[in-house]
Homo-oligomer: A and B are copies of this chain.
Amino acid sequence: MTIRTVVWNEFIHERENPVVKEIYPDGIHGTIAKFLSAGRDFEVSTATLDEPEHGLPQARLDATDVLVWWGHKAHGQVSDEVADRVVTRVHEGMGLIVLHSGHFAKVFKRLMGTPCSLRWREAGERERLWAVNRSHAIVQGVSPAIELPNAEMYGEPFLVPEPMETVFISWFEGGEEIRSGLTYQRGAGKIFYFRPGHETYPIYHNADIQTVIRNAVRWAYNPVAAWKDVAAAPNVPADKAPEKLEVKGARLHKAGEAGYR
């Protein structure tokens, strides 16, 4: 089996900011795509904000198993249409890995239904990510604690729904902590939020971080065929009811009429 993976990036800081450009000369998406491509089970491509439809036309999303999302400065430039398209594909079964500042991405906020807000500080401080369940598929191949010498701090409260699983919690040198690896199921789709990734530090060059993202893509992959009518609300007429049924009382809808939505 091959996991058709698309790495999406707004791709702005890497072009505008010399520090970020030096760390990610091919863009963050380029770096992530490269290390994912090393896994034989991945078929990886990239997409960016400035492409038509942000590189995510319907046909391409339909052929995507897992989408990796990186955005920071330009969340507002992602069109509502493309954001909704991504959300719908997650409901149908596409996996979604949301990285770092993607906590404020339209796609993530719409899937969570919460503000997704948090506290932050850019001081290059030390971060340590502790695995909560050492036998979870996402943490295999990394040590019990992943240490990042320089990271942007994100602190609780992190306004997301209680997750299906808390996979990582981060400790910060400056005194804060945050839940930094969280899984969710939304419709047929699996979602993993993974905190690390500030663009002024070489986070995605870290071998442990790469391993986690690779594991997460595999975890989020749902081999089942897309649930295309996941949002439909079909009528089950009385004569098609599983049990024999005698219709009683008044009705709002005529036979065969679609429901309201």
Determine how close the nearest CB of chain B comes to the CB of A106; give it in whole angstroms.
Answer: 11
Could you tell me if A245 and B174 are in contact, using CB atoms closer than 8 angstroms? yes
**Nearest Cβ on chain B to A210's Cβ, whole angstroms:** 19
Stretch of A1-9, A36-44, A184-192 that contacts chain B? A184-192
Contact with B along A1-43 (1 / 0, CB 8 A): 0000000000001000101100000000000000000000000
Q: A211 near B: Cβ within 8 Å?
A: no
**Chain B contacts of A170 at CB under 8 A?**
177
Contacts A161-B185, A185-B161 given; does A260 touch B101 at CB 8 Å: yes
A121-171 at interface with B (beta carbon < 8 Å): 121-125, 128, 130-135, 137, 140, 144-145, 147, 150, 153, 155-159, 161-166, 169-171
Inter-chain contact A175/B243, CB cutoff 8 Å = yes
Q: Mark A93-136, 1 if CB is under 8 A from B, else 0.
A: 10000000100100000111111011111111100101111110
Point out the residues of chain B lying under 8 angstroms from A166, CB to CB.
162, 166, 179
Complex Cα spacing A128 to B174, Å: 11
| Also in contact, A186 and B114, with CB within 8 A (given A120-B233, A176-B171, A260-B73) | yes
Tell me the bound Cα distance from A124 to B199 in angstroms. Answer: 36
B231 touches A117 (CB 8 A): yes
Tell whether A59 is near chain B: CB-to-CB under 8 Å: no
Name the residue in A114, A133, A157 with the highest tally of chain B Cβ atoms < 10 Å from its Cβ: A157
> Shortest beta-carbon distance, A176 to chain B, in Å?
7
A230 interfacial contact with B, CB 8 Å? yes
A223-236 CB mask vs B (1 if < 8 Å, else 0) is 01001001111111
| B114 and A130 within 8 A (CB) | no
Whether, in the assembled complex, A251 has its beta carbon less than 8 Å from a beta carbon of chain B, the answer is: yes
A176 vs B147: C-alpha distance in the bound complex, in angstroms? Answer: 11
Chain B residues near A157 (CB, 8 Å)?
130-134, 144
A residues near B, CB below 8 A?
A: 13, 17, 19-20, 72-76, 87, 91, 93, 101, 104, 110-115, 117-125, 128, 130-135, 137, 140, 144-145, 147, 150, 153, 155-159, 161-166, 169-179, 184-188, 198-201, 222, 224, 227, 230-238, 241-243, 245, 247-253, 259-261
**7 closest residue pairs by CB, A with B:** A175-B242, A124-B249, A135-B188, A124-B248, A174-B241, A115-B231, A175-B243
In the complex, 19 of the A-B residue pairs with CB atoms within 8 angstroms, ordered by the A residue number, are A17-B252, A91-B114, A91-B115, A114-B187, A117-B231, A120-B236, A121-B236, A122-B253, A130-B155, A132-B156, A135-B224, A137-B224, A159-B187, A159-B231, A162-B163, A169-B177, A171-B175, A200-B250, A200-B251
